[in-house]
Structure 1
Amino acid sequence: MPSTESDPEDAITSEEIAGTAPAPAATGVTQGTKRNAFTELMSPKPKAAKESSPQTLASTRSPNTRFLKERDGLGAYTRNPSSFPPSRVIYHTDDFVAINDLYPKSTVHALLLPRSPLSRLHPFDAFDDAAFLTSVRAETAKLKRLVAKELQRRYGRYSAQEQEREAVLNGETEVPSGEGLPKGRDWESELLVGVHAHPSMNDLHVHVLSPDMISECMRHRKHYNSFNTPFLIDVADFPLAEDDVRRHPTKAGFSNKDLICWRCKRNFGNRFKQLKDHLEEEFEEWKKE
């Protein structure tokens, strides 16, 4: 295997980078549900364009060159987003493309791809540009709202906070005197948002995902720790100070840290299978909050 395929700090596997790992089928939108901006964007449309792999490459390239080019796979979305079906591309503008992650690590996992030339830089360098950072933050906020709406659509019926609000809206209960309408659940505040300290792909991309970590693509310890340690850096934290430990993820050893449940903080050490089983239980309880 070429050395470029075995970078220990990659948050994803070489097969995921190459686009050859098993990926879940696009789930689309459940028919008959209330539609909103996010569900309209996420819905599969009739006669959608056939999805092509962003990592499609000439077979004549050497393995080393091929793998290096495969790290450029996200560029296919920013170059020609309309060539992908709505199950993959959520929306696109002149400056950004939002997509569903090909290998989601949670039940909802979106990526924001800037179309600026600065996106070819490492995030630490790209976000030194104040105007670019401001634009990415603003667009990330937009995508967060859409992802939060999708979580509400999927799981709102299980949530006690949402049920309290719905009971008032449906006239089943009255708002106590002097109190306003219950706000419902703040799904947006629960999202994981940020860039990886060591990006595995060459094009800058911001992750916006639910915290549940429930996905058939959550297969490895480094998958989990890449989103549940400081290896994931919120765009709100940039620009980073020069002595910020997150600038040196290898030295910090984020990928080798103990596996800690994101919800109850139980320490599973290196027992990934036990953590996965536990996450299924936490997922059911999380939905009920």
Structure 2
Amino acid sequence: MSSSEDNSIKEQPLTKRAKLDNPKDQTEGELDAFEDVLFDGTTRPQDLIKPYLDGLIPYVNDTANHTDELYHEDKACVVVRDTYNKARCHMLVIPKRSIDEPKCLTTADLPLLQHIHERSLWVIAKMKRDHPELRDVGFRAGIHAIPSVRQLHIHVISQDFDSERLKNKKHWNSFTTEYFIDTDELLAMLKAKGEVKVDSEKVQAALKRDMKCHVCDQPLRNIPLLKKHIKTHLPASMTTAQPEDV
């Protein structure tokens, strides 16, 4: 994000920025600006960006007004479609219990985390069953090492990365480097250490790393080249099928 864009966001009155809590009502440009703020959330004063930081809370507390995004709900969590999907299938599994971020987890949360992990696997199985073009595509379920919004959430994302909303190196590296921690690794860490700790400097550096293919490790210097290249790894079911709403 350029410095001019950065300043324009910071200078917006809180009432104006707060409307971005409901992304589906925004223009494409506003959505892009909103997403940039989310990605840089850890480096900005929280009182300036509270509307962005709390963007997931309504999906848990007010599901009746988010039926378009809601995919599944049970007693412990909700599954919603990610507004900023970076692949054909990109869901968020969000616990209903208030847990700001992974570092807040304790061993007392292991049963809940296990449930969320199993719900993520259920989503993957259902996606493959309901959408034939996804049956031969890999999936991952995990967290960002340093989340950009409050409320613990698990990304369930297909590995095609076939999305117009995947636009820059940070987007790519946040899902294809150690910045992304799989749920089974998260569970193992919590069981072994009783807490979740990450090397902040290391994972932040991963976002700035040169891009490479997540399948064959070929270096790719820009997003257009990356998108052209990763299509060569897509299964035939995806190259011949039009993207479907999932």
**TM-score, normalising length: structure 2:** 0.70
State the shift of 1:231 in Å: 0.3
- 1:263 is matched with 215
Corresponding residue SS for 1:151: helix
Q: Indicate the residue corresponding to 1:78 in structure 2.
A: 60
Q: Distance in 2 between matches of 1:286 and 1:228?
A: 23
TM-score (norm 1): 0.61
Partners of 1:195 and 1:279 lie apart in 2 by: 22
Two-structure CA RMSD over aligned residues (Å): 3.3
Q: How do 1:182-201 residues align onto structure 2 when only pairs under 5 Å count?
A: 190-201=138-149
Corresponding position of 2:92:
111
Within a 5 Å distance, the mapping from 1:1-289 to structure 2 comes to: 1=6, 19=23, 20=26, 22=28, 65=47, 67-85=49-67, 87-117=68-98, 119-120=99-100, 122-126=101-105, 129-155=106-132, 190-238=138-186, 239=189, 247-252=198-203, 253-268=205-220, 270-285=221-236, 287=238
d(CA) in 1 for partners of 2:198 and 2:22?
A: 26
Q: Report deviation, 1:4.
A: 9.3
Which SS does the other structure have where 1:247 is aligned?
A: coil
Give the letter for the 2:168 counterpart: H
Q: Report the alpha carbon displacement of residue 17 of structure 1 after superposing the two structures with TM.
A: 8.2
Report the AA paired with residue 106 of structure 1: A
Q: CA deviation at 1:284?
A: 4.3
Structure 2: tracts of 5 or more residues without a match:
1-5, 11-19, 30-44, 240-246
CA distance in structure 2 between the partners assigned to 1:210 and 1:94 by the alignment: 25
- 1:192–1:208 contact (8 Å) kept in structure 2: yes
The structure with the larger Rg is 1
Q: 1:12-68 deviations in whole A, cap 9, x for unaligned?
A: xxxx98845639xxxxxxxxxxxxxxxxxxxxxxxxxxxxxxxxxxxxxxx974522
CA distance in 2, matches of 1:195, 1:64: 21
Pick closer, same or farther for the CA change 1:196–1:152 going to 2, 3 Å: same
Match of 1:29 in 2: none
Q: How much does 1:193 deviate?
A: 1.1
Return closer, same or farther for 1:284/1:236 CA change in 2, 3 Å cut-off: closer
- Return closer, same or farther for 1:66/1:250 CA change in 2, 3 Å cut-off: same
Aligned residues: 203
Supply the AA of the counterpart residue of 1:247. V
Name the structure where helix makes up a greater proportion of residues. Answer: 2
Unaligned runs of 5+ in 1: 6-15, 24-62, 160-184
Offset, 1:84: 1.5
Q: Structure 1's 225 and 21: CA in aligned 2 closer, same or farther, altered over 3 A?
A: farther
Amino acid at match of 1:283: L
